[in-house]
Amino acid sequence: MPPSIAVIIPCLDEETAIEHVVRGMRAALPEAVIYVYDNGSTDHTAEKAAEAGAVVRTEPLRGKGNVVRRMFADVEADVYVLVDGDGTYDAAAAPRLVQRLLDEQLDLVNGARVSSLAGAYRAGHRSGNALLTWMVARIFGDRFRDLLSGYRVMSRRFVKSFPAVATGFEIETELTVHALELRMPVGEVETRYDERPAGSVSKLRTWSDGLRIVRTIVRLVKEERPLQFDHSRLARTAGIRAHGPGAALPHGHPLHGSHDPGEPFADLRLRARHRHARPARDEAAALLARARPRPCRPRGLEHHPAPRRFGVDVDGGEAGRDPAQRQ
């Protein structure tokens, strides 16, 4: 029995492109069921998708992450093809991605975007994607070249085990890190990336969404690699490193106040004073408990005589003297 395939398309205000996307996926994967999840569009996106033959559903909670979470929960299939509804991805490449997933028994195949068109990327998006991809590669593993691709083919095991937390465009980062941290079998296939059709506008906000993605990477490092968040990194995050060790922090800084720069974990204690820093206080207590020196005596030596050093007993007597002669 051939595996069932579902094409899942999240979209918002894409009436100029969604019909082309649905028809292209229908031609490339005639056996697939195509789902379009409308994220509260104010135009005729839902009507256009239905006319093209898609199963149209709605998710009123705005944000791409919210839509993806809903699609993963609702749709049942063996293979999932996730693609944006903006018409920039090559539908003809879908069979290659699906076949790669099935032939090699992978859990995720990423469609790495390749384009020589000047208008395919907005200003700063190509370099920003390269920087974020490099950050994730350094921390979690260098197995992908396009972190923020919206074109992915996934197995049922991947989709149903994915703990979606993101609400916006940081969902692609979560998908990538999920695969890397679980060491899932993954692959990547180059796909053509085109310009948006006339009338289609990108919903990605360069700076605010870029910052959200960076914050997501930091959160994932803290959750997946907690040992990397030692007290020195917390100090740098809090801004102590920027002002120098022992320097007074500017007024208004959350850690403003006097402290002993030589005291271990002083930065964590300062973080714990902040009214929003309960997790830091708990972490500080745990670190201090581990750092507190404890008396240690080798097992089996409890009844052994005290050792001698340089001819004198540790208890103060002279070595070699008769115990009866000692005062």
Cα–Cα nearest to 41, from 17, 22, 23, 20: 17
Q: What is the pLDDT of residue 75?
A: 97
Say what the pTM is: 0.65
Q: Report the alpha-carbon distance of residue 90 to residue 24 in Å, rounded.
A: 8
pLDDT digits (tens, 9 = 90+) for 169-214: 789 999 999 999 899 999 999 999 888 777 666 666 666 766 777 7
Determine contact, residues 35/6, Cβ cutoff 8 Å: yes
Q: Report the alpha-carbon distance of residue 143 to residue 133 in Å, rounded.
A: 10
Pairing of strands 79-82, 55-58: unpaired
In order of their start, the domains of the chain are 5-223 (3.90.550.10), 230-244+253-291 (no CATH)
Q: Which residues contact 108 (CB under 8 A, 6 or more apart)?
A: 101, 152, 153, 154, 155, 158, 175, 179, 184, 186, 187
Q: Which residues contact 91 (CB under 8 A, 6 or more apart)?
A: 21, 24, 25, 27, 28, 83
Q: What is the pLDDT of residue 125?
A: 60
Would the pLDDT of 44 be above 90? yes
Q: Which residues contact 52 (CB under 8 A, 6 or more apart)?
A: 18, 19, 22, 23, 26
Determine contact, residues 65/168, Cβ cutoff 8 Å: yes
pLDDT digits (tens, 9 = 90+) for 306-322: 555 444 444 444 444 55
Q: What is the pLDDT of residue 206?
A: 63
Would the pLDDT of 228 be above 70? no
> Which range is most confident: 22-26, 40-44, 179-183, 198-202?
22-26
CA angle at residue 153 from 151 to 155, to 5 degrees? 155
Single-letter amino acid code for the residue at 102 = L
Of 49 and 222, more confident = 49
Q: Report the alpha-carbon distance of residue 128 to residue 3 in Å, rounded.
A: 37
